[in-house]
Amino acid sequence: MSPPPVSISVVLPMYNEEKNAENAVKSLNRVLSDSFDDYEILVVESGSTDLTRDIADSLADSNPAVRVIHQINREGLGSAIRLGFANARKDFILYIDSDEPFDVEEIARVIPMLDPRTALIGYRIGERESFKRKLFSRVYNTLVQLVFRLGVRDVNFSMKLIPRTHLQKLDLRANGCFYDAELLAELKRAGIPVTEIGFAYNQRQYGMSSLDRLPVILNILREMLVYLLRRKRRVTP
C-alpha cells in the first residue's frame, strides 16, 4: 500500500506500564512505518514509580520517531493527553492507551477514512474484563448521553483520531477520566462531524485499570459539573 500524503502523531499516555510500554511502542512503530512516510509516537510518561520511565527513554534513544515527555507528577489521564496534543506536530493526532485495547494492526483499516473535515472515534466490540467494569461503563455512557446528547456508541474507548486543525478549536481542560466525554462534547459543540469505527476489544493483560474506583468516579462527576458550568457561562449573554 502506498503511504498517504499525510502525517500522524500518536499520543500514548503511560503510568506504571513497564510490562506494556515496549510492546505498545514497537507495535505502533511497525504499523505506522508501513503506512505513513511521516509519523511520530509521543509517549507521555506521568511520574511512574516502576521502570516505565527508563523503558520509554530507551525506546526514544533507539528510534527517532519516538519522543518522550515526562510529567514530574501524576496529574491525571486528561492532563497527559492534553500535554501530548499540545506537543504533537503532525496533520492528524491519534490517542490510544498503552495497554493496547485493540490490535494496533487495525490502524491500517482507518487510513482510507482519514479526512481533514472529520474526527474518527472507535467503539468497543466485545465484553469488558469484569461485570463491575461492564456495569460502570454502561451507567457512565448512559449518563453522558443523557447530559450531552452525543449520539455515539462508546464514550471512553481510547481510539480517537482528530485533524490538528479541528483539535485547535476545542476547549479541553479536564485532567482526569472525564476527558473522553469532554472531547466528544467539544467536537459536538464545534460542529465537527464524527465517524465511528468498531474494534475488537483486547482485555488488559498487565496492570490494573482505575476507572471503576470510587475516587475516580467522584472526580469524573466533579469535572463533568465544572464543564457544564463553563459551557453555561460561555453561552450566557
Residue 234 burial (CB count, 10 A): 9
Q: Which domains does the chain have, with CATH numbers?
A: 7-235 (3.90.550.10)
The residues that bridge with 124 in the sheet, in sequence order, are 199
Q: Residue 12 in contact with residue 101, Cβ under 8 Å?
A: no
144 pLDDT above the threshold of 80: yes
pLDDT of 186-201, one tens digit each?
A: 999 999 999 999 999 8
Spell 12-26 as b/e; 16+ CB within 10 A means b: bbbbbbbebbebbbb
Average pLDDT, the chain: 89
pLDDT at position 195 is: 96
Four-residue CA torsion sign, 28, 97, 191, 199: positive
212 pLDDT above the threshold of 80: no
Alpha helices in the chain, H assignment, sequence order: 21-35, 52-62, 77-87, 107-110, 131-148, 164-167, 179-189, 214-235
pLDDT of 28-59, one tens digit each?
A: 999 999 989 899 999 999 999 999 999 999 99
Place 167 in a pLDDT band, splitting at 50, 70 and 90: very high
pLDDT at position 208 is: 52
The residue type of 22 is E
What is the rounded CA–CA span in Å between residue 133 and residue 74?
23
Of 105, 116, 100, 229, which Cα lies nearest the Cα of 163? 116
At 11 the three-state DSSP class reads strand
pLDDT of 47-104, one tens digit each?
A: 999 999 999 999 999 999 999 999 987 888 999 999 999 999 999 999 999 888 899 9
